[in-house]
């Protein structure tokens, strides 16, 4: 079989079939995968069977994998791989089930150079539910009125590991982890490097406040933009299959996990993040 790229919705996302990431790929196939990611923002490469070494190698087609920030969820032999499992329970002592990433966010915006992309590889999925939802922040920006675009262009936002606006508490960190995650400031509207398009850049768990404007005014603006960007017309829900290797572009999307499946059903993913650049 040869590589085939097929859109998964009218909003965003595509699937790639006919490629085995365990095998060497020619330059044109790699270019086609990268082009599809830039266009569709979410790319699902179907039907893969990867051991950890092969997974790191496959991820490296899209850029340099970076070590996972949360040390306690790293794969022991491969610090680039994080384990996302619904076996986890609340680290704050409630014993409640943890659904990682259950609120709209873009990964690691609290860092100076947030990851360009995030990759999830599906090992075990529930019989039904457990989708991952994505919204297209390029389309959301394009749909803003001219007055709103003029208002948000040029604004900067402060991002923190755990923002004061976060709807959920973050995992407890060691002193070493805290030292790695000082607050940073990023543009509220960033340029998507592969396409030159502009995109809102936001995260419910990380965006703390808009810099240099009244706090209440900034909060109202952020609330309005979140409500706008997460409308159904900008959202795609990915229904997982075992063997999916799904990569998305953090520079022009937000995403969240869905916990809409029975607690006794297993969901196990491996995660890799790809090195990015400072937002502009």
Question: Would you please indicate which residues are annotated as catalytic (active-site) residues?
Answer: 105, 107, 255, 271
Distance of CA 157 to the CA centre of its chain: 18
CA–CA gap between residue 33 and residue 35 (Å, rounded): 5
CA 77 to CA 90: how far, in whole Å? 25
Strands (E), 19-159: 42-45, 65-66, 74-75, 78-85, 117-124, 132-136, 156-159
* Residue closest to 192 by CA, chosen among 66, 37, 44: 37
- Two tokens at 68? 């996972």
- Tell how many helices (H) and how many strands (E) occur in the chain: 6, 17
**How does DSSP classify residue 274?**
E
User: Which residues fall within 8 angstroms of residue 41, CB to CB, at 6 or more apart?
Assistant: 12, 13, 134, 136, 138, 248, 249, 252, 253
Asked if 255 contacts 105 with a C-beta cutoff of 8 angstroms, the reply is yes
| Beta-bridge partners for 196 | none
227 vs 251: CA distance, rounded Å: 19
Report the candidate in 277, 276, 274 with the shortest Cα–Cα distance to residue 56: 274
């Amino acid at each position: 079989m040869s590589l085939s790229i097929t859109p998964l919705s009218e909003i965003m996302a595509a699937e790639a079939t006919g490629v085995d990431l365990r095998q060497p790929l020619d330059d044109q196939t790699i270019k086609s995968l990268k082009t599809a990611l830039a266009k569709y923002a979410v790319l699902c490469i179907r039907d893969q069977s990867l051991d950890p070494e092969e997974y790191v190698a496959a991820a490296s087609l899209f850029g340099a994998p970076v070590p996972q920030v949360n040390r306690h969820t790293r794969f022991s032999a491969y610090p680039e791989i994080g384990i996302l499992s619904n076996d986890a329970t609340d680290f704050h002592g409630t014993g409640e089930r943890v659904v990682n990433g259950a609120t709209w966010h873009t990964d690691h915006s609290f860092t100076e150079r947030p990851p360009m992309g995030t990759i999830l590889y599906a090992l075990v999925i529930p019989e039904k539910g457990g989708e991952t939802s994505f919204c297209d922040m390029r389309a959301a920006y394009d749909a803003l009125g001219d007055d709103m675009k003029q208002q948000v262009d040029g604004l900067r936002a402060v991002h923190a590991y755990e923002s004061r606006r976060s709807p959920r508490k973050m995992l407890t960190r060691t002193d070493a982890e805290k030292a790695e995650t000082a607050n940073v400031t990023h543009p509220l509207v960033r340029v998507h490097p592969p396409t030159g398009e502009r995109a809102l850049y936001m995260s419910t768990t990380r965006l703390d406040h808009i810099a240099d404007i009244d706090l209440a005014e900034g909060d109202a603006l952020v609330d309005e933009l979140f409500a706008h960007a997460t409308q159904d017309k900008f959202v795609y829900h990915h229904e997982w299959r075992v063997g999916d290797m799904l990569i998305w572009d953090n520079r022009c999307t937000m995403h969240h996990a869905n916990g809409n499946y029975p607690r006794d059903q297993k969901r196990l993913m491996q995660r890799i993040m790809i090195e990015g650049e400072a937002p502009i």
